[in-house]
Each structure stands twice: as structure tokens, then as C-alpha cells.
Amino acid sequence: MSVNDIKGHYIGGRFLDDGRGTENINPSDVSDVIGRYARGGPETVDAALEAANAALPAWSAVGVQKRFDVLDAVGTRIAQRSEELSVLLAREEGKPIGEARGEVLRASQLFKFFAGEAIRNAGELLDSTRPGLTVEMTHEPVGVVGIITPWNFPMAIPAWKIAPALAYGNTVVMKPADIAPGCSWELAFMLDEAGLPDGVFNLVMGPGREVGPALLNSGRVDAVTFTGSVGTGRQIARDAAANGVRVQCEMGGKNPLVVLGDANMDLAVEAAVNGAYYSTGQRCTASSRIIVTDDVHDTFVAALTARLLQLTVGGALDEGTIIGPVVSESQLEKNLEFIAEARIAGAEVVGGERLELEARGHYMSPTIVLDPRQEHAISRDEVFGPVASVIRAADYDEALALANDTEFGLSAGICTNSLSHAAHFKRNSRAGMVMVNAPTAGVDYHVSFGGRKGSSYGHREQGRAAREFYTLHKTAYVNANV
């Protein structure tokens, strides 16, 4: 296949395109075109929904061994192809190759985990309150599931939605982010290779504003799971409610990492560096507000500033790169605007410059914004780049109040050696996930994932909790005394 051949939509078990394609460009080097991917619209969604609805009765009744076998085979295949897939991920998203390898491994683990969950889909059996009757509670497929994913984890997020959807007997129409469709296309290819029946999984690529509404307003989708920005998520939740479609939205974050005076300072600095700057800060769980008590504020800032100088910014395929490019020119401009506004508002900024490297890409230096005001955009809105604020707090109580003073609530961390402060923070942080002496980013696949407030809407993802979204409860009363 040459770079000019279009990688088609995957519908009803066939790869299809109509000659329209969008170039997938490497953000580390914009002269590198990874490939051309089909660009669909409402008619493509229509065909995919037709296929998914037609395949539903057979797949929901296929039995758990077949579902296990397909998902397990995909998990194995991802692991076998891990280096090639990691390179693709690094090229299309700009994630440094070491982190890309971790994400590909995670996708393999997710398929393996949900293969097991398919055969562990247990119900409950109880005696009825009426003598002689029993009550069975079981979980049935929800139906045709729409999956809409962002660009920042182009392999892991599709995996953590596709695998449970198929494990529990649903069929799928998926739309990946238009600027990074390559990993999803490879997942479609591997599902096909693993013997998934035609129409069970369908991939439609193209712009969200065209493909998304066609999916949500079709009347032929039973549930939609979305990960992406708050604005899009709220629109999707509204469309879903209007159409009576079950919906799950995982959205942005403005995650705090609290550092107290009694913390292990080396550990706290590393947690901040990892949480705020790895993956170029393009993680919903990134630590974008580092809240440090007065007694160690200056020491912490000096240590963090020194560490930033050691973080090599470069192309995602260079093994020595710690900070890759920002995903696109428009995202880079947005990041620089946030920083410029913070400067105008009086905050001191360390770093925060556009960088010109040998290859033409979207590079910037990792950035610390010192003591921004609480009401300013940099403190309230998700930046989604290698930018973190360091905010001074008088003591633990003020640090906790600042941590909770946000409309988001995805992840929150605390670095402390105090058991009582750690315990208090775990109880009183208004975030869905709390990390003690660990970065705010970095989660496991076998436990539930999700936030509160503006970060999340609907059921939790991943782990055993995923079943709640992808299944419907059924309660059956059985009278055997006949």
C-alpha cells in the first residue's frame, strides 16, 4: 500500500472509500505524511449503522467463548506488532516513542482483560420474597454502541471502549479523532484478522461535526460513549438526551497536585514532572495546577525549574526525547495564547516559548506559570499542553480549598508524609481519582476510571465498572412450582 492509497472506512467487514481522503500528518515533522484516511459523512454513518444493526442479533447470541477468542487474539496481535504500532502512534500523535510503547502495551492488556470479562459476566440468583419463586438478575447487551474518541490516546482509548463493547455482546460504529485515525484503522484491521463477524465492528472516519451528529440523531444507535473536550461532550450529552440514547462522556480536567512541606521533595518534583509534562501535557489527567505550601514553595520551584532544563524536547521517534511536539499548529497557538494572557495578567512565566528544531514541527518549551490569579483562564480552563501553574498556599487547608476550586474533578494528587493529611485529602478531594505520593496521571486498566463535576457524565469506564454502561440489567422472576 503506498502513502497515496486511501485507508478506507471499515463497514460490514470491508474496507471502503469513495476517493475522498484526509492526510494524516506527523506533528514532529510536518513534511512526513503518514497516510491518507477516508473522510466520511452522514451517508457513511448510515451504512455503518445498517451493518451494526444487522450484525447485532447474531453477535449478542454468539456465546462467550467466541467473544473471548476474538478479543484475546487482538490482544496477542497488538503485542506481536507492538514496535510497528508504537512507531505509528508516535508519528501520528507526537507521543515520545517510550510512552507510545507503553500505550500500545496497555491496549493489548485491555483486550486481554475484557476477553476475560466476557466469560466472567456473572449475574445474581436470589430467592424471591414470595416462597417458591427465584429471581435472576442478568446483564444483556445494550445494543449498537457509538464510540467517539479523541486524538491524545489514539490506541488506548479506542481499546478501552471497543473491548468492553464487544465483550458484552454489542456491535459498534466508531469514529476516531480526525487528526489521528491511524491506530483505530489498525485496530479495525486486527479485529477483521481475528475473525470478528462482518458488521460487528465498523469504523467511520471524518470530521466530528459531520459524522457525530449523524450518529447521534440516527435513531439507530442505543448508546454513545465519548471521550474528548467539555464543549463537544456537553453537545453530545444534549443530543443523546434528545434522542433517548444512553450516553457516557469523559471530558477535560484541571487537575491539582498538592505538595505539603513534609513531602519527600524529590518524589514530589518527579510526580509533578511526570504528571504535568509527560505526553507533552496532553492528558486529561495532567497536573496543570501544582499547589505548594509556603514553607517549601521556593525550594520546590527551584527544583522543578532545574528539572525542566533536563527535559529534552524533540521528535517523538528520538529515543532521547522526553517532551514531544504539541499535536497541531492550532493547539500550539492556543497554548501560547494562554501563556501570553497569563503574562499580561502579571504572572511570572518560566519557559513558554515556541521552539524551532531541525525538523519543522509544533514544538514548545515546557512551561511553569508562577502564582497566576485564581480567576484567570490559565487557572480555570484546560490548557492541554506542557504548561503547569505553581500556586502558593498558606497551609494544607488552603491547598485543599484551592484544589477543589475548579469546575472539573477528574484526578487530584497530594504529596505528603502525613497520614492524616493524606487520609483527609482522599476523603475531601472532589475528584473521581485521588493519588497519594503519585502523579495525577497514570491509571490502571483493571479498576474504574472517571471523574466528577464537569469532567465526567454517566457511567465509569474500565475495570469491572465498564459493564454498567455496556449492558442492560434484566430481572427475571421464575416460578418453578407449576
Residue 111 within binding range of ligand NAD, rule CB under 6 A: no
Stretch of residues binding ligand NAD (CB under 6 A), selected from 12-20, 62-70, 74-82, 204-212? 204-212
Q: How far is the CB of 467 from ligand NAD (least distance, A)?
A: 18
- Closer of 399 and 431 to ligand NAD (Cβ): 431
Q: Which residue has the cell 469532567?
A: 455
Does residue 235 bind ligand NAD (CB under 6 A)? yes
* Least distance from ligand NAD to the Cβ atom of residue 380, Å: 14
Check binding of 68 to ligand NAD (CB under 6 A): no
Q: Which residues contact 71 (CB under 8 A, 6 or more apart)?
A: 111, 112, 114, 115, 118, 163, 166, 167, 194
**CA 399 centroid distance within chain:** 27
Task: Fill in the per-residue mask, 154 to 193: x = in contact with ligand NAD (CB under 6 A), - = not in contact.
Answer: ---------------------x-xx---------------
Q: Smaller CB distance to ligand NAD: residue 261 or 463?
A: 463
Binding of ligand NAD by 209 (CB under 6 A): yes
Known catalytic membership, residue 415: no
Q: Which of 76, 82, 134, 229 is close enough to bind ligand NAD by CB under 6 A? A: 229
Burial class (CB in 10 A: 0-12, 13-18, 19+), 358: exposed
Q: Scanning residues 253 to 272, which ones bind ligand NAD (CB under 6 A)?
A: 253
Retrieve residue 7's grid coordinates: 485507508
Residue at shortest CB range from ligand NAD: 212
DSSP-H helix ranges across 228-376: 230-243, 265-277, 294-309, 329-344
Strand pairing category for 255-259 and 287-293: parallel
In sign, the C-alpha dihedral spanning 266, 270, 273, 275 is: negative
Specify burial of residue 356 (Cβ count, 10 A radius: 0-12, 13-18, 19+): exposed
The yes or no reply on residue 214 touching ligand NAD (CB under 6 A) is no
DSSP reduced 3-state for 437 = coil
Cβ 165 vs Cβ 55: under 8 Å: no
- At its nearest, how many Å lie between ligand NAD and the CB of residue 186? 17
Binding stretches for ligand NAD (CB under 6 A): 148-153, 175, 177-178, 208-209, 212-213, 227-229, 232, 235-236, 250-253, 284, 382, 384, 410, 455
Residues labelled as active-site residues = 284
